[in-house]
Structure formats: structure tokens, C-alpha cells
Chains A and B, each alone.
Chain A
Amino acid sequence: MKNRLTRRSLLALSAAGAVLALSACGGNVGGGSASAEFPSGPITLTVGQAPGGSTDLIARAAADGMADSLGVALPVVNKPGANGALATEEVAAMAPDGQNLVLLNASLITITPLAVSEEEAVSLDDLDVLMGLSQDDYVMVASTKSGLKNFDDIKNSDKKLSFGTTGVGTGSQLAQELILAQADVEGTTVPFDSGSPALTAVMGDQVQVSTVQLGEAKPQIDAGTVTPIVVFSAERNEFLPDVPTAIEAGYEVPVSQYRAIAAPKGLSDDAKQKLVASIKDAVATDAYKSFNEKNMLTPNEISGEEVTTEWNELAAKYKELTDEYSISLAGK
């Protein structure tokens, strides 16, 4: 009897503990009961990048539409650190109640592992990807002073060229290293802290070539202050229809940045359906569509399962290509 009582109180205790833990992890008022109707309160969308960058702006644009669709507030919280690994790992460890989401950059899964040690790499195993959002392309640009007009000019240049990237373990670095290795071009790679200084350096001919994201380079391409060489997407980019892809130029370099929204693994079907529906509503709004257009983003609104398969395939592909051309992203 006594034994049973103890067991029962233990059970009650652990149940209470679980509820407490859930609400604590959820970090939301009213996120107490696991069986409550979803959503039980504001949903937090965590972004692993600083406010104002393109990833942050995408998160805010999507969050606006999702909040309208779900009828709850959807604040965006920035937790920059380690290319987004910090935020992703934190959200992955939270309770899978759908109240906490994270905006994922594909590069964190597909490219960063090539530059950092194994224990720091983030995988998709702990996450339920809800839906893909968009594709952001990289473009290689040359300084006007260098006189380089296309990739053959770079290949046949008798001067030794410097190539700027937006940092170690980025798509910019991977794409550029791959095309240079495949074309057997000798050059010095110079990493900058982000896209803007890499682009500025090309404008001032401090380096002759840089690979940056299209949204950043487009105003300068339009103004004629830098010359576009190739884009690294599989198909030509609709915003730069006259610039050939690296693949057309004869090189196997399919590198783009993709973004998706994910939740901690183990989401209930109800929560998942509601969340996916809200993302679909958000991306269908005119405000979101014109946001994409203004930021040169190509919509890539595929299902979460497709995102997981594609990103894992890309990670394997990049690994294979870097091995084949013996490229190391982590310096020489």
C-alpha cells in the first residue's frame, strides 16, 4: 500500500516535473500543458544571424505572414553565433511543442562542416524541417579596373589574381575554390568578414575578383562598378538573365544558399500541419512575394522532407567534390 502510494506520488511528481520542464523550455506564458490546443501562445522564431542581414529579413518577412495566419504573435529573436550553430542547437534541444522554431541556412548543414571540426558540425537529425523558403544565389564579380569580362579571361590571365570570399566555411568560398580548382587557376584567396567588405575590395581593385551574394552585388552590377562573371546556381538567375552559370561555362559548381524553417524533432501532427499551413499562407501573400523580388530571392517553397533530402545530398556532393579536387576550406 505504502509502496503503491509512493509510486503514485512519484508518477505525479515526474508528470509535474515534465510539465514544468516543458513550460520552462518553451519559455512561453501558457505553454504549460502538453495536450493544450496548438498554438498555446506566442511562437518564437529564432535566427542565428544578427538583425538586419538577409537571413534576418527573410525570417521577419515570413514571421509577419505566419502570425496573421495563426492568430498569435510570432516574435523573431536573434541569437547570432558560430554561423547559426548556436541558435540551431539551442532550438533543437527545446521541447517539440511547436512554440519554438528556427530559421535554417543550408550552408550551416552543407558547407560549414567542411571547415570546422566534427563535434561542432550541426546535422538535421535533431530537427523537423517544416518547409523550404527560398534560394539566394552567389555571383562572381570582377573589378572594372582588372578588365576581366568572363571566366576565360580569368583562366588565361597572366597576372596573379586575388580572389575575395565572404569568409571561411561559406558558400562563397566553396563555390570559388571549386571553380578555380576545376579550371586549374592559380590565385590567392582572401577571406573577408562578410559580403560587404569583399564587394568593396573588388570595387577598389584591392582584390580583382570576389564571390558574393547576388542581392548585395546587384546594385553595383547595375551601376557598372563591377563586372559579373558567372552565377553558381544550377539554372540562370531570373534577375541576371545575361550572366552564364558556372555549369554552362563547363564547371561542376552547383552552390547556392537555401533557407528553411524547422522545429525541434518530434512535433505532433496537429502542430506540424498548422505550422506548415501558416508558412504556406505567409509565402502566398503579396507582401512576401514582393519582398522576395526586391531582395533577389528565388522562391524554393518545397516540403520539409524534400529539404532534408536535398540538403543531405548537397552535403555529400560538396564533400565528394572537395575531396576530388583536394580543397580544404579550413586554410592551407
Chain B
Amino acid sequence: MDFFGPVLDGFGTVLDPTNLLYCLLGVVIGMLIGVLPGLGPAATIAILLPLTYGVEPVTAIIMLAGIFYGAQYGGTITSVLLRLPGEASSVVTVFDGYVMAKQGRAGTALGIAAIGSFIGGTIAIVGLTFLAPLVASFALDFGPPEYTALALLGILLVATISGGSKIKAIIAAAVGLFLATVGRDGFTGAERFTFGNLSLADGIDFVPIAMGLFGVGEILYNLEERHRAVSAPLKVANVWPAGKDIKQASGAIGRGSVLGFFLGILPGGGATISSLASYALEKKTAKDPSRFGKGAIEGVAGPETANNAAATSSFIPLLTLGIPANATMAIIFGALLIQGVTPGPQLISNDPELFWGVVNSMYIGNILLLIMSIPLIGVFVRILRIRAAILAPITALITLLGAYTIRNSMFDVMLVVMFGAVGYLMKKFGFEPGPLVLAFVLGSLLESNLRRSLLVLEGDPSGFLTRPISATLLVVFVFVAVWPMIKSAIDQHKNRSMAVQAVNEKENA
């Protein structure tokens, strides 16, 4: 009872009508704002922070957690319907989600994403409730060498997940890695590829690249297509996933929850890598990998589950260690400080009501999100019935507005336009934007951590192999890299022996 007493009291706190109302308010505001790419959860929470000054700390955090969940799901909506991934962790959702929407299965995609997010979130909260103190130290064991190995593995996965030509995917990924080097070098202060432009000193933001390549590129390409053939407005069938869809996606949801929970604990990049790893895992374990990229429901269910589970478990280092795992957590950290609460090792013992209130508000936030999204999916998918002549300019407007809001700069808007043109050309010549964007995100993680590792290890690369976690990750890396070759060798061997067998049978006959 020592353990469950405070947990149950926490539920009492959350179910207080005022707190429920704030949670609901947060989810709705978050969902609406999350639809604007660029204005992600971090910026939304920062802007709405003053609203929470006047209320109780528990209520304030419950509302902020609600905004966080809502904004996450808002990003999913735009990824599926408009091909606009607002955050790095929803890039892979676009691969199959947008294709599903084009096939008239937008409702199925959004529905399975909502269900997956709910299950992933809930499993992660259960994990947080029981394992938080145990797994928290996992985040501390991850030093620069471990992040280097993880980023390497991530970049390898980028190459394996793309549907089209491998060579083209590698070219796109190489461009992404190059774009990641733009900006002031974080180790020497030297300018790289900035051409003396201060707006490039911090490098290029994720949002202009993703919005341009995916969103604007698609709009331009469709404009050209429409001149050739008049396409009828999309039919939007089955608003809710059928029983067989759920059955098909259930494995992906289960695996995504576990992946997301553990990778989300890592500060920096955890959510993105978990969605990527989940997609790669689903594609590898699928009976027919060729369905991926052509509207496979597991390709939406897995990554969406994983990124929501990761979003939830990223609270673990904040609440138990006082380490903010990402920009959003940093702002929630600041919000807690303003409320006079210091997140950290002492939070559970000093302020159990707040700790469990926050944890339990996540259960409620998740349920509210599911309840809210069921009726809203029907509304959202109707967007697709709008004629392209009207929808395209609105999408372009959202995209440009979103890019502007990142740092109130016209320069970013120009970047979106430029990357839009690049995205159009890429689509025309059969290059996928996915590998470029993901390699871009992982590239800076890889570079800075590799250089940091070599500093810490004093230039001795054998250090990567003597540290248990980085060594394990590197073994996995080698395995993933070599496995296709081994597999094809085995298959060939099998085919040959079967052929030999067939020949023998013929001769015997």
C-alpha cells in the first residue's frame, strides 16, 4: 500500500473537475496548434506558459502535458492528410500514411495512429509508473560514444527503409548529411557553408527542409499532374479502421510501444530514432516487405505508436533525474521551476502528489486524446474532399506560416520555397525525400557525437568497442548491414539445392 497509496491519490487529483477541464483544454489547443507545422509542442507551450502562472502547479503541468499530447497528434493529422510532417519523429508516418490517404483510407490511417498512440502512450505510462527509477539511469549511461553508435545505426536504417531505388536513396541521404554540416561548427566556431549569412549561422532548421521537400514539392508536382488529367476529388471511405486492419497492425503496435518506451528515455533524438527503428523493424519482419511505401497499415501504426510512447517516456529523465530530454521537456522544466517545483531525484519523495498527479494526468490525457480524435477524424478526412485548387493554396499557406513561426524570420520562408523546388525536382526524377530529411536529422547527431567521443576517448577509436552499450549497438549495426547479404546467400543456396533436387527428380522419373 506504501506504493499504491500515492498513485491512487494522484488519480484523485487528476479527476478533480478543474484539472480535467484544463487537461481537455490543453489537448484541444495542442491539437489545433499542432496542425501548424513549425509551431510544435515546444513553441506552443512556451507561448501559453503565462496562462498557467495563476493556477495550481498540478493543474498547470496537467494542462501543459495535455498540450504536448494534442500537438503530437496534430502533427500526425497533417502528415497523413497533407504530407506535412511537422516534426522529425513523424517523417516516416508520411511514407505509408499519405499513400493510404490517396487510396481513400485516410480514416483508417488516422484511426490506427490514434489507437496506436493511445496504446503506446499507455504502455509507456505503465512503464513509467513502475520502472521510472530503474530505467532512468539508462539515460546517464548514454555518453557520446553510445550516441555515435545509435546515430550510425539510424542512418543505416534510413537506407534500408526506402521503397524505391537504393542508389537514389543513398544519394538523397548523402545530400541530407551534407545539409547537416551547414552552420557554425560547434567545436571550433568556424563558419561552414554559410556564405557570411548570419541566418545560416545556426544551420538549417528541420522544418523548412521537411515542409519544402514534402509539402510544397508535392503541391508543385500535383499542379503539373492536373494539367494532364483531371482527377476527381478523393473518395473517403471507411472512416474507422476495420477489425482486420486492427488485427494486422496489432503486432506493429506492440513492438512500437516497447521500442518507443526505451528509446524515448534517451535525451535528444530518441523519438525520431524510435519511429525510424519501428518502421525498419516492421518492414524487416513483414511477410511481404514490398507493401511498404504503398499503404501498409503497419507502416503507420508502428512509428506512430513508437513516437507517442517515446514522447511519454521522455518525461522519465525529467521527473526522476531533472534532465530535460528535448526542447519541450526543457520548457516544462522551466514551467515547473516557475511554479516553485524542482524536478529531480527528490521530486517523488518531496512532492508525491505532484509527481503522481503528472503521471496520472498522462493516462487521462491519452484517453481524452482518443475520445476527442474519434469524432474529429471524420471531420478531418473531409478535408480531402476539398478540390485541389482550393486545398493546395491553403496547404502552401500553412506551410509558409509554419516556417515563419519557427523564429519569425522571412529567411526560413524563402528556404521553404527553395526546398519546395528541390522537392518537386526530386519527385520528378524518382528521389524520395524521406532519406534526405532523416539523414539530415541524424547527421548532426552523428557528427557532433563522433567528434565528442574522440575527444573523450583521446582519439582512440577502440574505446567504442570496450564500452558495453556502444559495442552492442555496433554489433547490431554490423548485423543489419550484413544480414541482407547472408539472407540472399542462403536463399540462393536454397534455390540451387531445390533446383538440383528438381533436376534429380526429373532424372529419376
Contacts and interface: CB of A to CB of B under 8 A. Distances in A.
Nearest to A296: B337
A225 B334 CA distance: 20
Interface stretch (B22-30, B112-120, B286-294, B451-459): B451-459
A206 B331 CA distance: 25
B344 to A, nearest CB: 4
A197 B186 contact: no
A50 interface: yes
Interface string A204-219: 1011000000010011
Interface stretch (B194-202, B232-240, B241-249): B194-202
Contacts of A204: 139-143
Contacts of A85: 198, 201
B165 interface: no
B188 A168 contact: yes
A197 B407 contact: no
B441 to A, nearest CB: 14
Interface string A169-187: 1000000000000000000
A80 B202 contact: yes
A94 interface: no
A116 interface: yes
B378 interface: no
Contact of B186 (A56, A119, A193): A193
Given A52-B327, A52-B330, A79-B409, A86 B199 contact: yes
Given A162-B456, A196-B267, A206 B144 contact: yes
Contacts of A150: none
Contacts, number: 143
B458 A160 contact: yes
A196 B330 CA distance: 9
Interface string B15-45: 0000000000000000000000000001101
A330 interface: yes
A189 B452 CA distance: 9
Interface string B399-418: 00000000111000000000
B322 A330 contact: no
Nearest to B345: A223
Contacts of B344: 219-220, 222-223, 225
Contact of A51 (B46, B139, B198, B343): B46
B187 interface: yes
B427 interface: no
B190 A331 contact: yes
Contacts of A77: 408
Given A77-B408, A78-B407, A168-B187, A52 B456 contact: no
Nearest to A220: B322
A322 B142 CA distance: 34
Of residues A52, A54, A80, which shows the largest number of chain B Cβ atoms within 10 Å of its Cβ?
A52
Contacts of B268: 197
Interface string B142-174: 111000000000000000000000000000000
A192 B452 contact: yes
A192 B321 CA distance: 19
B323 interface: yes
Contacts of B49: 52, 60
Interface string B188-215: 1111000010110110000000000000
Interface in B311-359: 321-324, 327, 330-331, 334, 337-338, 340, 342-346
B47 interface: yes
Contact of A200 (B139, B185, B331): B139
Given A82-B202, A222-B342, A223-B344, A196 B324 contact: yes
Interface string B448-484: 1000100110100000000000000000000000000
B324 to A, nearest CB: 6
B50 interface: yes
Contact of B343 (A81, A197, A219): A219
A193 B330 contact: no
A89 interface: yes
Contacts of B382: none
A192 B143 CA distance: 11
Interface in A64-90: 64, 77-83, 85-86, 89
A159 B139 CA distance: 25
Most chain B beta carbons < 10 A, residue from A79, A80, A200: A200
A81 B267 contact: no
Given A51-B46, A200-B139, A203-B140, A86 B198 contact: yes
Given A51-B43, A190-B452, A200-B323, A81 B188 contact: no
Interface in B386-409: 407-409
A291 B338 contact: yes
Contact of A81 (B46, B50, B201, B337): B201
A169 B452 contact: no
Nearest to A86: B198
A315 interface: no
B331 A51 contact: yes
B342 to A, nearest CB: 5
A276 interface: no
B186 A60 contact: no
Interface string A81-115: 11101100100000000000000000000000001
B322 A219 contact: yes
A31 interface: no
Interface string A113-131: 0011101100000000000
A330 B458 CA distance: 19
A212 to B, nearest CB: 12
A201 B189 contact: no
Contact of A82 (B43, B190, B198): B198
A154 interface: no
A116 B189 contact: yes
A2 interface: no
A113 to B, nearest CB: 11
Contacts of B321: 200, 203, 225
Nearest to B183: A82
Contacts of A299: none
A162 to B, nearest CB: 5
Nearest to A46: B408
A109 B30 CA distance: 38
A295 B334 CA distance: 9
Contacts of A80: 202, 407
Nearest to A83: B201
B186 A167 contact: yes
Contacts of A294: 337-338, 340
Interface of A: 50-54, 56-57, 60, 64, 77-83, 85-86, 89, 115-117, 119-120, 160, 162, 167-169, 188-193, 196-197, 199-201, 203-204, 206-207, 215, 218-220, 222-223, 225, 291, 294-295, 329-331
10 contacts: A50-B42, A53-B334, A81-B201, A82-B201, A116-B189, A116-B191, A168-B189, A188-B458, A291-B338, A331-B190
Given A162-B455, A168-B187, A294-B337, 5 more contacts: A50-B42, A52-B49, A116-B191, A160-B458, A225-B321
Interface of B: 42-43, 45-47, 49-50, 139-144, 184-191, 196, 198-199, 201-202, 267-268, 321-324, 327, 330-331, 334, 337-338, 340, 342-346, 407-409, 448, 452, 455-456, 458
The 5 closest A-B pairs by CB, nearest first: A331-B188, A204-B140, A51-B46, A206-B143, A82-B201
